[in-house]
């Protein structure tokens, strides 16, 4: 990572460019969609609002004020990125946004303490790519010299990135071949090319044609009871023979045999292949009744070779290691800082 990459790291109110981490996250589902990563949190979203003396202060970081307009601006962007819509979600996003601005300020101060130096011309070149907006959304800077406030925020992001480059080198975040191999071995289910065949047994409770609500309730209660029993017994086959209402499979201990992809109804197939060998599936409801499966065997699965997926695994581990290094640094800086929060009307700090 270099300072030149800052142009694709910063989101100014409406732009998010996080391609370097989105691919491995999507492929391997290692991070949730309800959280920002460090690039988004401290580089990607800049609370670009014009300072206003009348704007309430919601926090102070070592004496530096964070205003309500800054927190609201950051929170609006974060809410869009996380698709936060409910009142509870937006309140949580606002609190998280304020915490992110606090963290950003701490990182800027730490970069200053480490004497990170940036050339004005380089900062100005980056700043010209963005416009400063007031809380109402009006454009406050044109195509000439960058606004001083915009220059300050862009300089802060560039200083953070330069400092974190140093931090990452000191923590050796680059994944080792052993770490990549270990990840591959521990998460082989993520690299399935062909899932092969799956053997399942099931226990069913049937519904009559045009069942009444009472009959549905009774059947549902019964399948839940059987599910609980199946979770405790070591002999699923005996339970199926005794209590399953599927007359075809019950004599065989509920065994349905092997299936390969495409043979089962899509929803059943999805649930079956998501269930580990020896485990029970969730209860499945249909117009015929209720049932649940136990996966008893898998065979014939093939996996992508390590060499093929190694670059993607390296990105996942690198992202994890970088996030851990940033989190540790933020924790250290918070422990030494003087941070004050003030909750304005209608918000919770």
Higher pLDDT, 132 or 335: 335
Q: Phi then psi for 39, rounded to 5 degrees?
A: -65, -45
- Rounded mean pLDDT, 262-275: 95
pLDDT of 18 reads: 27
Between residues 237 and 21, the one the model is more confident about: 237
Tell me the pLDDT band of 345, cut-offs 50, 70 and 90: low
Q: Whole-number mean pLDDT of the chain?
A: 85
* CA 42 to chain CA mean position, Å: 16
Q: From residue 12, how far is each of 101, 134, 138, 268, 341 by CA, in Å?
A: 14, 12, 14, 44, 25
Residue 196, both tokens: 């092969």
How much of the chain is in helix, strand and coil states, percent to nearest 5?
50, 15, 35
Task: Give me the mean pLDDT over the 70-83 stretch.
Answer: 91
- Mean pLDDT across 206-230: 96
Regarding predicted confidence, which is higher, 18 or 212?
A: 212
29 pLDDT exceeds 60?
no
Least confident of 13-22, 128-137, 251-260: 13-22
From CA 221, how far away is CA 160, in angstroms rounded? 58
Q: Between the ranges 185-194, 223-232, 339-348, where is the mean pLDDT highest?
A: 223-232
Q: Is the overall model pTM greater than 0.85, yes or no?
A: no
Q: Looking at residues 63-81, what average pLDDT do you find?
A: 92
**Residue 133 token pair:** 């907006």
Residue 107 has pLDDT above 50, yes or no: yes
pLDDT digit string, tens, across residues 30-47:
334 568 999 999 998 887
CA distance 14 to 89: 19
**Per-residue confidence (pLDDT) for residue 149, from 0 to 100:** 83
Is the model's pLDDT at 93 over the cut of 60? yes
Provide the pLDDT for residue 34: 61
CB 74 within 8 A of CB 101: yes
The pLDDT of residue 327 is: 96
Q: Give pLDDT, residue 144.
A: 58
The region of weakest confidence among 80-89, 180-189, 204-213 is 80-89
Q: Tokens standing for 70?
A: 């800054």
53, 76, 93, 133 from 68: Cα distances, Å: 11, 12, 14, 15
In this predicted structure, the answer to whether residue 66 has a pLDDT above a threshold of 90 is yes
pLDDT above 80 for 167: yes
Mark out the alpha helices in the chain (DSSP H runs): 19-28, 38, 68-82, 87-113, 120-127, 148-171, 177-186, 213-232, 236-243, 266-274, 306-336
Radius of gyration for the alpha carbons in the chain, expressed in angstroms and rounded:
28
Number of H helices, E strands in the chain: 11, 9
Q: What are the phi and psi torsion angles at 197 (to 5°)? A: -100, 155
* pLDDT score, position 139: 52
CA distance 4 to 294: 54
pLDDT > 90 in the chain, percent:
72
- Interatomic CA distance for residues 202 and 280, integer angstroms: 9
Residue 35 is classified by DSSP as S
- Interatomic CA distance for residues 268 and 288, integer angstroms: 14
Helix (H) or strand (E) holding 147: none
pLDDT of 24 over the 50 cut:
no
Could you read off the pLDDT of 125-158 as tens digits, one per residue? 888 876 554 445 455 554 556 678 888 889 999 9
Q: CB-hemisphere CA count at 13 Å for 62?
A: 14
Q: What is the pLDDT of residues 276-290, one digit of tens each?
A: 999 999 999 999 999
Q: How many residues does the chain have?
A: 349
Comparing 51 with 347, the larger pLDDT belongs to: 51
Asked if residues 63 and 339 have their Cβ atoms less than 8 Å apart, the reply is: no
pLDDT of residue 128: 81
Quick check: 193 and 185 in contact, CB under 8 A?
Answer: no
Delineate the domains of the chain, giving CATH numbers in brackets: 3-182+309-341 (1.10.4030.10), 196-300 (3.10.50.40)
User: What confidence score (pLDDT) does residue 13 get?
Assistant: 23
């Amino acid at each position: 990572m270099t300072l030149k990459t800052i142009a694709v790291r910063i989101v100014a109110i409406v732009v998010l460019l996080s391609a370097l981490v989105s691919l491995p996250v999507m492929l391997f589902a290692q991070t949730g969609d309800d959280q920002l990563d460090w690039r988004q949190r401290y580089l990607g979203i800049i609370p670009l609002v014009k300072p206003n003396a009348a704007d309430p202060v919601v926090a102070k970081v070592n004496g530096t004020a964070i205003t309500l307009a800054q927190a609201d601006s950051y929170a609006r962007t974060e809410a869009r990125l996380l698709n936060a819509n409910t009142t509870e979600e937006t309140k949580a996003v606002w609190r998280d946004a304020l915490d992110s601005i606090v963290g950003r300020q701490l990182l800027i101060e730490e970069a200053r303490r480490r004497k990170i130096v940036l050339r004005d011309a380089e900062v100005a070149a980056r700043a010209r790519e963005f416009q400063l907006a007031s809380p109402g959304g009006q454009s406050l800077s044109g195509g000439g010299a960058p606004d001083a406030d915009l220059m300050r925020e862009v300089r802060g992001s560039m200083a953070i990135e330069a400092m974190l480059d140093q931090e990452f080198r000191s923590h050796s975040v680059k994944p080792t071949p052993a770490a990549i191999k270990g990840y591959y071995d521990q998460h082989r289910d993520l690299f399935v090319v062909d899932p092969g065949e799956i053997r399942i047994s099931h226990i069913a409770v049937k519904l009559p044609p045009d069942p009444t609500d009472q009959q549905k309730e009774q059947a549902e209660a019964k399948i839940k009871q059987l599910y609980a029993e199946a979770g405790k017994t070591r002999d699923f086959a005996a339970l199926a023979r005794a209590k399953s209402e599927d007359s075809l499979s019950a004599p065989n201990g509920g065994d349905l045999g092997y299936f390969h992809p495409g043979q089962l109804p899509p929803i059943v197939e999805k649930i079956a292949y998501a269930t580990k060998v020896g485990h029970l599936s969730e209860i499945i409801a249909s117009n015929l009744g209720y049932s649940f499966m136990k996966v008893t065997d898998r065979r014939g699965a093939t996996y992508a070779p390590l060499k093929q997926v190694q670059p993607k695994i390296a990105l996942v581990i690198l992202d994890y290691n970088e996030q851990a290094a940033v989190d540790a640094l933020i924790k250290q800086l918070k422990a030494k800082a003087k941070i004050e929060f003030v909750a304005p009307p209608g918000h919770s700090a």
